[in-house]
A and B are shown apart, each in its own frame.
Chain A
Amino acid sequence: MLIGLLLWYVGLSLWTAYEPADRQFWLLSSILPGALVLILVGTHRSMPLSQASYLLITLFLTLHTIGVHYTYAQVPAGAWFEQALPLGRNHYDRVVHFCFGFMLTYPIEELFRLTASLRGWLLYYLPVMTVLGLSGLWEIIESWVARVVHPELGMTYLGSQGDVWDAQKDMAAALYGSLFCMLLLLLWRKRRTGTSRPQPDSLADSTS
């Protein structure tokens, strides 16, 4: 299955790398995912994550790759939504921010569980904080890029689409996604085992 996921992502990347809407933006935005995939491939023997985690990461990277291909503000699905509901802006990037929190919180939780020997409520709290921290870091980088690459465009560049509160809303979206993911995980574990503690033998928590 892991090979399938990798093939899917590489194939998709090649397809979207062909004539992206904005080559410079595509290049900038592909550095981090590329590094992440290399790290995951490199550590998959020494530090294997569960299949659920790899699946979630691939899903998120897929969404991101599509966003990068079209440059986020012009993704067709988002534009269609904008027309269907009177939203006033393309919401694809906000959705992906939410998904960043929703899909990557579980892999981070797993990483903490395996390497940091966290226990109790901290195992639920720290992944959310980490996602929010990464989200803040992303907004900082985004603002640098906007100021360095296109200083004349100011806030109209990149994700903000002219909204002064864009950074806060993006971070809030990631936070909600992350909280939602943790809530689901908590409920799922409670229902399955009657406790909020991860069980070593349960499916999604197994690592080998």
Chain B
Amino acid sequence: MLNRTKLLSGLLIWYGLLWTVLAISPHDRQDWLLENLLALAAVGTLLLTYRRFQFSTPSYLLITAFLSLHAVGAHYTYAEVPFGFWLQQLLGLSRNPFDRLVHFAYGWLLVYPLRELLIRLAGVGTFWSYYLPVSGMLAQSGLFEIVEAIVAQVVSAELGTAYLGTQGDEWDAQKDMMAAFSGALLTMTLVIVMKGKAVSLRK
């Protein structure tokens, strides 16, 4: 089995390199900065709290995967990610789906670390340890949409639209939240199924 410390340093180096490469001439420097405020705060928090609270290795992997996706989105400004255009053509969509995909990934990848946090920090039990993480992801997703709306209204309309990425869809906020919600539900279902398997194996 791979050494945990090595793996974690590897993740950090990977993210550092990726971030640096994507920080070079992003599509829209202001939007890039705006998108990265929260991401950098998250990385900073993880590094600073590492001594006091350590996530499991799978959690760190999931978090890094999400942050990598977000770094790509921030570099190109979400609505103009090449991979999204490619997907749009392939599936015949009317919009670039990359941001929706990352919203889904947000719920899908981060609900597991959140569950770990709640179980270990708060000691939440059986039923709540499945319900609360999903609810938490949905809530954070809603909070994010609120913050987005405020930013879009305060900051210049042009940058606001780039940051918001509604791409002219009036139901964009609800669809984004739905994406995060279904991602979280999917992971939770997997966790429940795997737990069941593990229990039956032990028997």
Residues on A lying within 8 angstroms of B by beta carbon are 112, 115-119, 122, 126, 129-137, 139-140, 142-143, 147, 154-155, 164-165, 167-169, 171-172, 175
Contacts and interface: CB of A to CB of B under 8 A. Distances in A.
B112 to A, nearest CB: 17
Nearest to A165: B149
B170 interface: yes
A175 B144 CA distance: 12
16 contacts: A116-B124, A117-B123, A117-B125, A119-B122, A133-B135, A136-B141, A136-B142, A136-B177, A137-B181, A140-B174, A143-B174, A143-B175, A147-B171, A155-B170, A168-B145, A169-B149
Contacts, number: 85
A118 B125 CA distance: 9
Contact of A167 (B143, B145, B150): B145
Contact of A137 (B125, B138, B143): B138
A130 B132 contact: yes
A154 B170 contact: yes
Contacts of B124: 116-118
B143 A165 contact: no
Interface string B147-164: 011100100000000000
Nearest to B143: A132
B170 A164 contact: yes
Contacts of A172: 146
A168 to B, nearest CB: 4
Interface string B97-128: 00000000000000000000000011111011
B139 A136 contact: yes
A137 B127 CA distance: 19
B75 to A, nearest CB: 26
Contact of A175 (B135, B146, B149): B146
B26 interface: no
A118 B129 CA distance: 12
A139 B177 contact: yes
B103 to A, nearest CB: 12
A129 B118 CA distance: 13
Contacts of B136: 126, 129, 133
A135 B142 contact: yes
Nearest to B122: A122
Given A117-B123, A118-B122, A133 B153 contact: no
In the A-B complex, list the 4 residue pairs whose CB atoms are closest, starting with the nearest: A136-B142, A133-B139, A132-B139, A168-B149
